[in-house]
């Protein structure tokens, strides 16, 4: 492999970086055209683009990893393709075909292969597919043109402290409305999270815990990740289920590993905030953070403490090791989870 770029791989943050190549595809009059790699991080769009005014857009996040033998691999990109298609359907946008999506991700990573961090650095390549409604439009209606793009960057851990327990606090703000766009990966869900997230971080928390928007009694998401708890005594893996939760690919991968590799019972259902004492361990799951242990959750005048404020719980550690081992090629993956990126 060629590693000609001058980057301190061991001290990467989670920040944007302008790499040489990105994938672009354009849609108009019912078809995709001009599909391929482009250079340059900017592109012009009309001032009336619905993405700018009405939030008609969707995005994804996935990663590429370099194995010990130097081979680059992707983790479940077909699931990102399916989820983006679902988000596009919700926002009345044409989905980029799923097979083309995976092929475009492969080609974009391949073109920027020198920027995939080396094995052992703890870093990876973050991949951001984005679909936006563009063209001249000002009425509240779907765009007549669309741009699909994929750009990449090497990143370190989302949380600088890595796999370290952090405290969280419940929020009075809602992440998404009942029957809204919570299950879609669209910008509006995240723009509204900036204020509560900032308030929580200034108060010394890792992020906020969002409760269900209808009753504010059940946990839905932890920041921009999915929640899980490990029950005391039974070691049951419990995670919320709701039509306003984003279906996390990391979450469903961990559910599979919890059942098939660790032999744990798994339950998806209501997780009431006033019953958090039932859990010995808790954490958040997502592409960026992978797994983030939760040391405690403050809710009103109650404080629910989990395994430790300094050490990672044993089941959380096993799940993390299994998942990361698969992603970096050290542990055999379930069939269909890995897509290799050919050398340039």
* Tens-place pLDDT, residues 139-174: 999 999 999 999 999 998 766 666 899 999 999 999
Catalytic one of 185, 218, 232, 241? 185
Q: Which residues contact 233 (CB under 8 A, 6 or more apart)?
A: none
Q: What is the pTM of this model?
A: 0.96
| pLDDT at 91 > cutoff 50 | yes
Q: Determine the pLDDT at residue 279.
A: 98
Structural tokens at position 214? 């209808």
Kindly tell me if the per-residue pLDDT of 63 is higher than 50: yes
Check residue 18 and give left, alpha or beta (phi > 0: left; psi -120 to 50: alpha).
Answer: beta
Contact status, residue 209 vs residue 217, Cβ threshold 8 Å:
no
* pLDDT score at 157: 73
Mean pLDDT value of segment 235-262? 97
Give yes or no: 241 in active site.
no
Q: Where are the alpha helices (DSSP H) in 67-114?
A: 77-90, 98-111
Q: What is the Cα–Cα distance from 98 to 272, expressed in whole angstroms?
A: 36
pLDDT of residue 1: 47
Task: Name the packing angle between helices 249-260 and 314-327 (round to 10°).
Answer: 110
Dist. CA 296–CA 302, nearest whole Å: 10
Bridge partners (DSSP) listed for residue 26: 33, 147
Report the relative pairing of strands 266-269 and 237-240 from DSSP bridges: parallel
């Amino acid at each position: 492999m060629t590693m000609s770029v001058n980057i301190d791989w061991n001290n990467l943050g989670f920040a944007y970086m302008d790499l040489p190549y990105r994938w672009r595809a354009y849609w108009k009059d019912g078809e995709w055209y001009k599909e391929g790699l482009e250079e340059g991080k900017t592109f012009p769009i009309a001032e009336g683009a619905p993405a700018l005014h009405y939030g008609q857009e969707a995005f994804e996040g996935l990663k590429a990893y370099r194995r010990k033998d130097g081979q680059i691999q992707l983790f479940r990109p077909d699931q990102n393709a399916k989820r983006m298609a679902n988000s596009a359907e919700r926002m009345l946008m044409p989905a980029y075909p799923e097979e083309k999506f995976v092929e475009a991700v492969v080609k974009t990573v391949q073109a920027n292969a020198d920027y995939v961090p080396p094995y052992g650095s703890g870093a990876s390549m973050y991949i951001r597919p984005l679909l936006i409604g563009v063209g001249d439009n000002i009425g509240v209606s779907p765009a007549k043109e669309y741009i699909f793009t994929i750009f990449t960057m090497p990143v370190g851990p989302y949380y600088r402290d890595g796999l370290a327990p952090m405290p969280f606090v419940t929020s009075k703000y809602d992440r998404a409305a009942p029957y809204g766009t919570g299950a879609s990966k669209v910008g509006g869900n995240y723009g509204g999270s900036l204020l509560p997230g900032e308030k929580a971080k200034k108060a010394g928390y890792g992020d906020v815990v969002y409760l269900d928007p209808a009753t504010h009694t059940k946990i839905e998401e932890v920041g921009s990740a999915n929640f899980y708890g490990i029950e005391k005594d039974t070691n049951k893996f419990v995670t919320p289920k709701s039509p306003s939760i984003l279906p996390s690919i990391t979450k469903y991968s961990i559910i599979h590993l919890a059942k098939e590799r660790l032999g744990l019972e798994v339950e998806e259902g209501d997780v009431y905030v006033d019953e958090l004492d039932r859990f010995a361990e808790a954490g958040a799951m997502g592409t960026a953070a992978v797994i983030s242990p939760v040391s405690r959750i403050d809710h009103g005048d109650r404080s629910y403490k989990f395994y430790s404020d300094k050490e990672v719980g044993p089941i959380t550690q096993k799940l993390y090791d299994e998942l990361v081992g698969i992603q970096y090629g050290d542990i055999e993956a379930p069939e269909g989870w890995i897509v290799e990126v050919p050398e340039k």
